[in-house]
Amino acid sequence: MGTPRDPNRMTNSNTELCQIPVRVELFGLPTLITGSRMVVLDLPTSAVLRDAITALGTKCPELLGSVIREDGKTLMEGYSLSQNGMRFLEDVEEPLEFVKGESLLLLSNMAGG
Amino acid sequence: MYGYHGRALIIDLTSQKTSCVSLEPQVLRHFLGGIGLGTYLLYRFCPPGVQPLDPANPLIFVGSPLVGTRLTTSSKFAIITKSPLTGFIGDSLSSSFMATELKGLGYDALVLIGQCKRPTLLFLEGSNVHFLNASHLLGLSTLETEVAVKEELGDPRIRVACIGPAGERLIRYASLSNDGGRHAGRTGTGAVMGSKNLKALAVRGRERVHIFDPIRLNEIGNALTQKSLGPATSKYRVLGTMSNVAVFNRLGTLPTRNFQQSTFDGAENVRGEFLFENHLVKNAHCANCTIGCEKVLATKDDGQEVEGRMEYETLFSLGPLLGVADPNTIIRAARKCDALGLDTISTGVTIAWAMECVERGLLNPISTDGIDLRFGNGQAILKCIQLIADRQGIGALLAEGTRRASQILGHGSEAWAMQVKGLEMPGYEPRSLKTMALGLAVSTRGACHNRSSAYEADFSPQVNRLKADDSRGKIAMQSEDLSAVLDSLIWCKFLRKAFDNFYAESTEVYNRVTGWPMTVEELKQAGERINTLKKIFNIREGWTRGDDTLPTRVLEEELSDGVAAGVRLTSDELNMMIASYYRARGWTEEGLVPEAKLRELQLLSLVEAYNSPETVGMI
């Protein structure tokens, strides 16, 4: 189920010491709330999804309560994060294993129209 | 009886006689209302094999048990007929005050058969039925017709459903309009109304709705209203579905230039966020709706200012699909379609087909009446829309829809006619949304994004949207059955995330309205029953396994751009998913419904009573 992670991604036993800039692209309401279409988070290479959400809430506190829950750890109902537009993320403990140049997309998971 | 009236009014437009049929509690419990009850009535009253524009094809208006309550989004009604576009079931939903007035007539459904001898305004006032001359209304736009009818009848509380010039000229994807801007689109219900020489239906109901437990229902309604104003609907309340454009573009799922690409290089100025900040005038609400998803936009160029209602499907089909990056053109085109009474998706997809024909040299300026019908030419699009409604020039061909138009033109143009079962495709690129691909292929309505919400799985961690597998059948089935319950009770789909447990909460609402004990399992089975009966109707009307498919372009071309570049969907993959869907439904490998399933769903006696003799035993 879901999009499998790339088995060729390199891991490093010292990854927790390294940070990597990750672009977070914003769509819809988050764009209007923050006034931005993209923010950059510095995440440890060992980051899990919860870390990314927490970092986003810290960088953009105006998203708390409307897009990110007040505790800063999970997204509100109706929002998802997608890694590079390819796979949607759910498990907040899932390691992201980002490499340079990759993105997270914060978007509504409700379509219709 | 609570929530229902227990009867349907049959109006013979030819003889101007009326009659009444009772709707037994079991029928109402089994089919709920809306699309479900409408499907039941269509199966009963539509003669097998009838041509859709024949007077004998019924045009059915159906309410629901929730209409007349104060539950948010409950003011909706369904319109069901045999579609002149597909030849299969044609079902649409519309909203607002018309729903309440229809129910106030004292019937759960209105079945119109026959054909008026002259252009007619059918006025239903309480128990009185008036056949009024509508010759003076011919040629009026949808909004002009509503205003004229209300003035003529002298009662501002009268609600009007009408057709525009497109319906009068039997454009196969003509829509039906009501309440100053609501439209029952898709499948051509407006053309059926036009074939009956019926320009407008005016309604003034008098009867009140009786609710079994109004106190408890009020508590439930208040709680639901609060949730409807929260994060579960924020997308729809603020930006509306226009916000899909930027997301779909980024994900490589935005059909562009007749599905030749899945990203649009002009998306910047037609994305929802841009339109919200630069063109928004106001939100539009249906009656009884706390969400207000529809956005009214205004043009901002040097031309005369025009306002148009906008949502994603209209935006995609008159924008990226036609290569149009100018929001002013899209707003004007949307306004024009609404005024003429044309379904915007089918209009856009059909014009896109024609544009590709021009691109490939199959149509030229002579055959397009001097119009340079190339991708991106906004003026050409506006002229073309008018020609379609007038059935003039190239419009006469395009008025038939992409399937018929491509069959008439030939030269291989069927390969880029983006339709399923004759219904033009909505704004979801199936090659990069594989669950949605299945949903589009098997839907009884044709290529429809409303009767199946299969895309939800594709926008979630549940599946890999770019790869097909046999788990999709069950997902598509469950999505369809949920949609059937939503469309039959009737709830607005944009409310669905406001429920913590949709089936449990809906069951309680149903019980409080009607006083009839309904369980969650019974409600789920009602959804399955409704979808199965829709399929049986289609089988009776000539469905074959070959109708469950996708356009040649989708199955033979890989995506060329965006994050999903290189992805394709093969026939084998689609057939594998379709097989999984038939298995999930308990149907045969050929997609037929076995007798055991009919018994399980308590459909056998209905099918035997109204099936055509040559299909008995083949279902």
CB contact under 8 A, A111 and B252: no
Cβ pair B244:A3 closer than 8 A: no
pLDDT of residue A15: 44
Name chain A contacts of B468, Cβ cutoff 8 Å: none
Identify which of A29, A88, A113 has the shortest CB distance to residue B459. Answer: A88
| Predicted pLDDT of residue B294 | 87
* B283 Cβ neighbours under 8 A, 6+ residues apart: B237, B240, B292, B293, B294, B295, B296
Instruction: Please report which confidence band the pLDDT of residue A1 belongs to, taking 50, 70 and 90 as the band edges.
Output: very low
Q: Could you tell me which residue, B412 or B286, shows the higher pLDDT?
A: B412
Decide: helix, strand or coil at residue A65.
Answer: coil
Round to whole Å and give the CA distance between A13 and B264: 42
Pairs of CB atoms within 8 A across A/B: 109
Q: Do A28 and B461 touch (CB under 8 A)?
A: no
Q: What is the pLDDT of residue B614?
A: 57
pLDDT of A11 strictly over 50:
no
pLDDT in tens, B209-252: 899 999 999 999 999 999 899 888 888 888 999 999 999 999 99
DSSP-derived secondary structure letter, B308 = E
Mean pLDDT value across residues B380-385: 97
| pLDDT over 60 at B175, yes or no | yes
Question: For the segment A22-69, what is each residue's pLDDT rounded down to a tens digit?
Answer: 999 999 999 999 999 999 999 998 899 999 999 999 999 999 998 999
The most confident of the ranges A10-19, A93-102, B68-77 is B68-77
What is the token pair recorded at B226?
């609060």
User: Which residue type occupies B373?
Assistant: L
Record: contact A112-B427, CB cut-off 8 A:
no
CA dist list (Å): B214 to B209, B290, B326, B445: 11, 20, 50, 36
Spell out which residues of chain B touch residue A106, defining contact as CB-CB under 8 Å: none
User: Structure pTM?
Assistant: 0.95
When CB atoms are compared, the residue of B235, B242, B428 closest to A110 is B235
Closest residue in chain A to residue B277, using alpha carbons only: A32
**Number of H-type helices and E-type strands within chain A:** 2, 5
Region B191-197 average pLDDT: 98
Name which of B243, B250, B460 is nearest A25 (Cβ-Cβ): B250
The beta-carbon neighbor of B273 closest among A32, A67, A76 is A32
> How close, in Å, is residue B254 to chain A by CA atoms?
12
Compare all CA atoms of chain A with the CA of B231 and give the residue at the minimum distance. A66
8 Å CB contact of A78 and B466: no
Of B246, B427, B464, nearest to A3 by CB-CB distance is B464
**Cα–Cα distance for residue pair B158/B168, rounded to 1 Å:** 22
Q: How open is the CA angle A72-A76-A81, to the nearest 5 degrees? A: 85
Q: Do A113 and B563 touch (CB under 8 A)?
A: no
Residue B121 has what DSSP assignment? E
On chain A, the residues whose CB falls within 8 A of the CB of B460 are 80, 88, 90, 109
List CB contacts of B347: < 8 A, sequence separation 6 or more.
B173, B317, B318, B337, B385, B388
> Residue B460's closest chain A neighbor by CA?
A88
Nearest residue of B to residue A31 by CA position? Answer: B273
Residues of B in contact with A108 (CB under 8 A): 235, 243, 247
pLDDT digits (tens, 9 = 90+) for B472-510: 999 999 999 999 999 999 999 888 888 999 999 999 999
What residues of B are in contact with residue A33 (Cβ under 8 Å)? none
DSSP, collapsed to helix, strand or coil, labels residue B243 as helix
Predicted local confidence at residue A14, as pLDDT: 46
CB contact under 8 A, A113 and B311: yes
8 Å CB contact between B416 and B553: yes
Decide if B243 and A28 are in contact by the 8 Å CB cutoff.
yes
On chain B, the residues whose CB falls within 8 A of the CB of A113 are 240-242, 244, 311-313, 427, 449
Residue of B nearest to A84 (CA): B563
Residue B425 makes CB contacts below 8 A (sequence gap 6+) with: B255, B259, B345, B349, B418, B419, B440, B447, B551
Cα B468-B469-B471 angle, rounded to 5 deg: 130
